[in-house]
Amino acid sequence: MTVAPSEVPSELTGSANNLLSITAYSVLMVIAACGNLTVFITLFRNRHRKSRVNLFIMHLSIADLVVTFIMLPLEIAWHTTVAWIAGDVACRILMFWRTFGFYLSSFILIAISLDRYFAITRPMSLSDADRRGKLMLILAWLFSIVASSPQSVIYHVESHPNHPWFKQCVTFNFFPTTTHQMIYNVFCFSALYLAPLVVIVISYSFILIEITKRSREGRGGDTNSMIASTGSLRRSGVGRMEKARIRTLKMTIVIVFVFVMCWTPYYAMIIWHWVDKTSAEQVDEKIQRILYLFAVSNSCMNPIVYGKDEFALSYL
């Protein structure tokens, strides 16, 4: 049966908001591609330097490239077609990749923070530190795969109850109760936002405390004890440590600020929806889309933050 255009709800055919979203995602894709490809290619060419920091940042750029070349094109195509036209298998596969880049980025941020924490507070031999760094990267990839896999089960293609011709890739009718859905949502919130934020703040706080303590020891003339405790610092390294402390302080503020700035508004909206769904759904659709775009823009910011401070991190 043919349905007259006037009888089809606007949300099934697209709107001006879709065009704005397509434009915004396209701009983000260009920016993210330029930044992350530049960082990845630069670090890949310099892989002979055998720097753990370079290795971490290169994997972070890979995570952001997944977002750039899989998630963003998917969003652009989805907002263009409105309906899901790729079938159930593609729905399940693409929903896995839609979140994989975000999980990998979050877990690598955790790995970078922990690596810097151990490098400063519990120095060990280079070979041991390299093994620990590679192990954390392997775990970051494995945890990302595990955390993203439920997407391939939860998402499926459903037909609209009143317009069977309209199909969509959704989670509708999967969770037996709202409690089950809430548990899964809280898991996603914790893995993508809460855990990285807590680890970043705590790790870099301890790093700054340790560097400040060592800098004071150096200024107090106790350089020899500092050299004995680390086994690697020279007297001339005290000044460099002081500079590293200042640069680390600046980088810490930027890292935390960028992560919080990009993700907090989006998750604040999510939490609001959990607490009071009725009032949250009354928020303008444009605002809700902007908040998600803001979260996705973190993949554009990472190469700026970490690429710029690569050499500051290498000193730590």
Map 145-178 to HEC letters: HHHHHHHHHHCEEEECCCCCCCEEEECCCCCCCH
DSSP state of 192: I
What is the mean predicted confidence (pLDDT) over 176-198?
93
More confident call, 118 vs 74: 74
More confident call, 254 vs 273: 273
Residue 2 falls within a domain, yes or no?
Answer: no
Residue 230 pLDDT exceeds 60:
no
Q: What is the CATH number of the domain that holds 87?
A: 1.20.1070.10
pLDDT band at 308 (very low <50, low <70, confident <90, very high): low
* pLDDT tens, position by position, 155-176: 999 998 888 888 999 998 999 9
pLDDT in the model for residue 200: 87
Name the most confidently modeled range: 121-135, 136-150, 190-204.
Answer: 136-150
pLDDT in the model for residue 223: 46
CB 256 within 8 A of CB 203: no
pLDDT in the model for residue 238: 54
**CA 77 vs CA 21, 36, 156, 277, 316: distances in Å:** 11, 22, 18, 28, 43
Distance between start and end Cα atoms, the chain = 68
pLDDT in the model for residue 257: 83
Residue 204 falls within a domain, yes or no?
Answer: yes
pLDDT in the model for residue 130: 85
Residue 9 falls within a domain, yes or no?
Answer: no
Q: Which of 309, 224, 287, 298 is nearest to 259 (CA)?
A: 298
CB atoms near residue 232 (< 10 Å): 9
Domain range enclosing 117: 14-314
DSSP E strands in the chain: the ranges are 156-159, 167-170
CB 104 within 8 A of CB 141: yes
pLDDT band at 240 (very low <50, low <70, confident <90, very high): low
The structure's pTM equals 0.84
Number of independent structural domains in the chain? 1
Spatial neighbors of 286 by CB under 8 A, at least 6 apart, are 17, 20
CB 154 within 8 A of CB 169: no
**Cα gap 163→287, rounded to integer Å:** 28
The contacts found for 251-257 with CB under 8 angstroms, 24 or more apart, are 251/305, 251/309, 251/312, 251/313, 252/204, 252/205, 252/207, 252/208, 254/305, 254/309, 255/200, 255/204, 255/305, 256/197, 256/200, 256/201, 256/204
Give the tokens for residue 36: 């992350």
User: What percent of the chain lies above the pLDDT cut of 70?
Assistant: 79
Residue 203 pLDDT exceeds 80:
yes
pLDDT in the model for residue 121: 80
pLDDT in the model for residue 252: 63
Q: Which of 163, 4, 155, 132 is nearest to 56 (CA)?
A: 132
* pLDDT tens, position by position, 76-126: 999 999 999 999 999 999 999 999 999 999 999 899 889 888 887 877 666
Residue 55 falls within a domain, yes or no?
Answer: yes
Residue 300 falls within a domain, yes or no?
Answer: yes
Phi, psi of 159 (to 5 degrees): -95, 145
Residue 1 falls within a domain, yes or no?
Answer: no
Give the tokens for residue 294: 């803001």
Residue 254 falls within a domain, yes or no?
Answer: yes
Lowest mean pLDDT among 35-44, 199-208, 247-256: 247-256
CB 68 within 8 A of CB 104: no
Q: Which of 175, 181, 172, 168 is nearest to 88 (CA)?
A: 168
Residue 295 falls within a domain, yes or no?
Answer: yes
pLDDT band at 315 (very low <50, low <70, confident <90, very high): very low
Spatial neighbors of 50 by CB under 8 A, at least 6 apart, are 130
pLDDT in the model for residue 285: 83
Lowest mean pLDDT among 261-265, 304-308, 310-314: 310-314
